[in-house]
Structures are given as C-alpha cells and as structure tokens.
Amino acid sequence: MATLGNPKNTIEVLQKYNFNFQKKFGQNFLIDTHVLDKIMKESGITKEDMVLEIGPGIGTMTQYLAEAAREVVAIEIDKNLIPILEDTLSEYDNVTVINEDVLKVDIRKLSEERNQGKPIKVVANLPYYITTPIVMSLLESRIPIDSITIMVQKEVAERMQEEPGSKEYGALSLAVQYYAKPEIVANVPPNCFMPRPKVGSSVIRLTLYEKPQVEVSDEKLMFSLIRASFNQRRKTLVNGIGNASNLNISKEQVMKALERMGLPPTIRGEMLSLEQFAELSNLL
Ligand code: SAM
C-alpha cells in the first residue's frame, strides 16, 4: 500500500471504497506529507512508545505512527472507515483499530494493558467539533500521558496558549496550563486537507507536567471559580463569582479575598494568572 499523505493516493482509496465524507464526524483528511513529517518530528515518538491516535480516518498518519512507534492504538468512530483501515494498515502488525467513540473508551485500561501503565503519547488530527471535551477528558483523567500532539482549529490552539490580559485568554487556557505546557509548533492552511475546512488549523503540543503547576486545596472549586469569572466576560470577577448560583459565595467574600491578594475590587477574570486563581480559591 502506497503512503496516503498526498491527494492522488487519498482520492484513489476514497474511490475504491466509494467513501462519503461525514460532516458530523469532522472528517478532514490530511493530504500533505510536509505537515505529516512535522507532526511526527514534534511528537518525539520513539520505538519505545505506545501511541494513541484519535480518529485515524483512512490511516494516513497511522502509517507514519506505526513506522515510528512500538505500538499504535487508533480509535475511529466511523464504521465505514474500518474496512478501509484494514486495507491501508494491512502491512503493520503493531496497530490496533478500535471502532468506538473515543469519549467512551477506557483509555486508562488500554494503557495499563498495553503499556504497563507507563506514560503514553497521544497524537491526532482531531475532529474539531469535540476538541475541548477530548482534550479536557485526557487531561482531567490523570492517565499517565507524556504529551498530546494535536491538530486543532487555529483559534483553539491560540486560546490554549494565551497569557493573562489577552483577548483569547479564558477558562480553556487556564485548564490546559494547569496540567500541561502548550506550544504551537505549526500553522496549517486549509489546502492541506481534503475536504478543506473553513478555518485555519494549528498543531499544538501539550507536554504534561508530573504534578499540576500550582498547589490548590480544592481543584473543583478553583475551576468553578474560573468558569464563573469567564461566564460573563464584561463583568468584574466579583460580580461573576458573586452571581454564580452554583457557588454560594458572596460578593463581600470575593472582595475580601481580592484585598488580601492586593488586587482591586474592579478587576476582571482575564487579568488573573493561574497562580492567582489558585490563591483566590484557597482563600475562599
Ligand atoms: N487522522 C486522519 C487524517 O489526519 O487524515 C483523519 C482526521 S479527521 C480531522 C478526524 C477523524 O476523527 C475522522 O476520521 C472522524 O471520523 C474521527 N472521529 C470523529 N469523532 C470521533 C469520536 N468521537 N471518536 C473517535 N473518532 C472520531
């Protein structure tokens, strides 16, 4: 089987199987070998690694992963792609394809069974409609993971990497940065995919910390505070948290905590760093 990462070979496979793209599954297949080489280089995969690929499509990147890694587990939701993957990956005996929704798979169990619970690497050209749930479930699960190297919508990559004070900084930036160091490693234009997405894309690598970046006594409370602070962007932090019905924290309590932190009562959530949200949460 020829490598798939170019338009000609991809079209050939699609025609052979009479495959129809399903919009609801966010199917945009990579057709650019330079982008594939770049993702492979940045993911730092070695022959020791077990790699989890989310959404292999017709197996374009899976072929590269199978060459570089010890073992690949690829989870694909679309059953119409399974016979295609059997064909395009037939040369590899180190790839397992699972026909399932990635959000329903027990990835911890997979890593325990196939990698003795040692850290795995995740690589994917993600379906954009569920980027955040996939990334957050991987991070929050505390499954041993070294790094997550993923293609996502450009704006989402930027949001993950943003610092306090910028327009795109928000709950996703804080959640990602609590668990991992984000680095955008490539920008990828729509013409590198088939069909072309309407938005620009970026490859971002999240290198997971062994321990979260800040010490916080109640993680759940901190993330509830973060969500409340960014729910109403134009509101001050005091109003955002004070008005959140799920929190039961008064505006006076928030003001007192801010005062102890040396911050003005009019400050907005987007000005606070992760360390400051942790401190606020610990005070409250
Ligand atoms: N990796 C391929 C490539 O780069 O050419 C395909 C990437 S495409 C952007 C996303 C893939 O994820 C599609 O194959 C789609 O069917 C699959 N997918 C969508 N939702 C999924 C889910 N919930 N679980 C697993 N796979 C999913």
pLDDT tens figures, 178-230: 999 999 999 999 999 999 999 999 999 999 999 888 999 999 999 999 999 98
169 shares a domain with 106:
yes
pLDDT at 235: 85
- 27, 97, 105: which to mutate for ligand 1, most atoms within 8 A of CB? 27
Name the closest-CA residue to atom 12, ligand 1.
Answer: 55
* 144: preceding bond cis by omega (within 30 degrees): no
Q: Which atom of ligand 1 is nearest to the CA of 55?
A: 12
46 shares a domain with 131:
yes
169 shares a domain with 230:
no
Could you list the residue range(s) of the whole structural domain that residue 192 is in? 7-208
130 shares a domain with 28:
yes
Domain end: 208, 243, 262, which one?
A: 208
CA 123 vs. chain centroid, Å, equals 9
28 shares a domain with 101:
yes
Give 187's strand partners: 202
**Ligand 1 site: residues with CB under 6 angstroms?**
25-30, 54-57, 60-61, 75-78, 81, 101-103, 125, 127, 130
pLDDT in tens, 258-269: 999 999 999 999
Residue 90: inside a domain: yes
134 shares a domain with 167:
yes
- Residue 264 neighbours by CB distance under 10 Å: 12
pLDDT in tens, 59-99: 999 999 999 999 999 999 999 999 999 999 999 999 999 99
Residue 271: inside a domain: yes
Nearest CA-CA partner of 161 in 145, 143, 148, 180? 180
- 31, 77, 138: which to mutate for ligand 1, most atoms within 8 A of CB? 77
Question: Residue 275 — φ and ψ, nearest 5°?
Answer: -60, -40
Q: Is the distance from CB of 118 to CB of 110 less than 8 angstroms?
A: no
Domain end: 208, 229, 257, which one?
A: 208
Q: Ligand 1 centroid vs 128 CA: distance in angstroms?
A: 9
According to DSSP, residue 89 is labeled T
pLDDT at 213: 84
36 shares a domain with 148:
yes
| Domain harbouring 34, CATH code | 3.40.50.150
Residue 86: inside a domain: yes
Q: Ligand 1 centroid vs 151 CA: distance in angstroms?
A: 11
170 shares a domain with 41:
yes
Q: Ligand 1 centroid vs 142 CA: distance in angstroms?
A: 23
Q: Which atom of ligand 1 is nearest to the CA of 30?
A: 5
Q: Which atom of ligand 1 is nearest to the CA of 31?
A: 5
233 shares a domain with 187:
no
- 143/195 Cα distance (integer angstroms): 33
Beta strands in 209-278, from DSSP E residues, in sequence order: none
Q: Ligand 1 centroid vs 148 CA: distance in angstroms?
A: 16
- 13, 19, 29: which to mutate for ligand 1, most atoms within 8 A of CB? 29
Name the closest-CA residue to atom 1, ligand 1.
Answer: 56
Q: Ligand 1 centroid vs 121 CA: distance in angstroms?
A: 17
Name the closest-CA residue to atom 23, ligand 1.
Answer: 101
Name the closest-CA residue to atom 18, ligand 1.
Answer: 55
Q: How confident is the model at residue 231 (pLDDT cuts 50, 70, 90)?
A: confident
Domain end: 177, 208, 239, which one?
A: 208
Is 232 a residue whose pLDDT tops 80?
no
Residue 82: inside a domain: yes
194 shares a domain with 232:
no
Q: How confident is the model at residue 167 (pLDDT cuts 50, 70, 90)?
A: confident
Is 141 a residue whose pLDDT tops 70?
yes
Residue 56: inside a domain: yes
Name the closest-CA residue to atom 19, ligand 1.
Answer: 25
Residue 1: inside a domain: no
Residue 2: inside a domain: no
- 30, 54, 138: which to mutate for ligand 1, most atoms within 8 A of CB? 54
225 shares a domain with 93:
no
123 shares a domain with 149:
yes
What is the total count of domains within the chain? 2
Residue 48: inside a domain: yes
| Domain harbouring 235, CATH code | 1.10.8.100
